[in-house]
């Protein structure tokens, strides 16, 4: 089954819009959410690209009200500096393909909407580990900040 804290959404044109960005922000970064509870009174840092759905007054006002520091990555650097894009999604895609292939062999190529999420979550759990995520921030030079890594990649 689908977990309650998973957010699925679709816009009329298939692209992220301001409404979807706000849903994501509220569901994942509100004061009553686990990330906020873990940091207590401290601020959280939210890294994102300059997509128009993120760069608007409503988005920024919510961030400030929730003790979130919104940080837009510099133009033309997201392909190098976004930790998830750079190092996580490729292994995630490969893991998903591996799980899908395993499922096809096991169930004789039967695949449906009902088991899509189950297969996706197996790949997600294998790829999005704490160790993987921490090393990806390190490898991009973002946490801890390492200007040498960042400058070498630009």
- 109-144 pLDDT per residue, tens: 677 777 788 888 889 889 888 898 888 888 888 888
Last residue of a domain, one of 31, 49, 72: 72
Residue 24 Cα to chain centre, angstroms: 10
Cα separation, 125 vs 117, whole angstroms: 12
Domain with 49, as residue range(s), is: 18-72
Does 1 reside within a domain? no
Total of domains in the chain? 2
**87, 67: one domain:** no
| pLDDT value for 13 | 87
For 61-78, the pLDDT digits (tens) are 999 998 899 888 887 777
> Which span out of 37-51, 82-96, 115-129 was modeled with the highest average pLDDT?
115-129
- H or E segment to which residue 69 belongs: strand 68-72
Q: 68 with 89, same domain?
A: no
CB atoms within 10 A of CB 6: 10
Separation CA 28–CA 22 (nearest Å): 10
Do 67 and 84 fall within a single domain?
no
- The residue among 55, 72, 89 that closes a domain is 72
């Amino acid at each position: 089954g689908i977990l309650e804290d998973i957010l699925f959404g679709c816009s009329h044109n298939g692209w992220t819009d301001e409404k979807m960005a706000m849903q994501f922000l509220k569901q994942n970064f509100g004061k009553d959410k686990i990330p906020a509870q873990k940091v207590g009174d401290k601020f959280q840092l939210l890294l994102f690209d300059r997509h128009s759905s993120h760069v608007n007054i409503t988005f920024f006002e919510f961030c400030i009200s929730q003790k979130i520091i919104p940080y837009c990555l510099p133009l033309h650097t997201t392909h190098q500096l976004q930790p998830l894009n750079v190092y996580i999604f490729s292994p995630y895609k490969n893991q998903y393909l591996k799980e899908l292939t395993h499922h096809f062999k096991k169930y004789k190529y039967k695949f449906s909407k009902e088991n899509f999420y189950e297969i996706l979550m197996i790949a997600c759990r294998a790829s999005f580990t704490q160790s993987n995520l921490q090393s990806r921030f390190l490898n991009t030079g973002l946490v801890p900040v390492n200007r040498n890594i960042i400058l070498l990649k630009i």
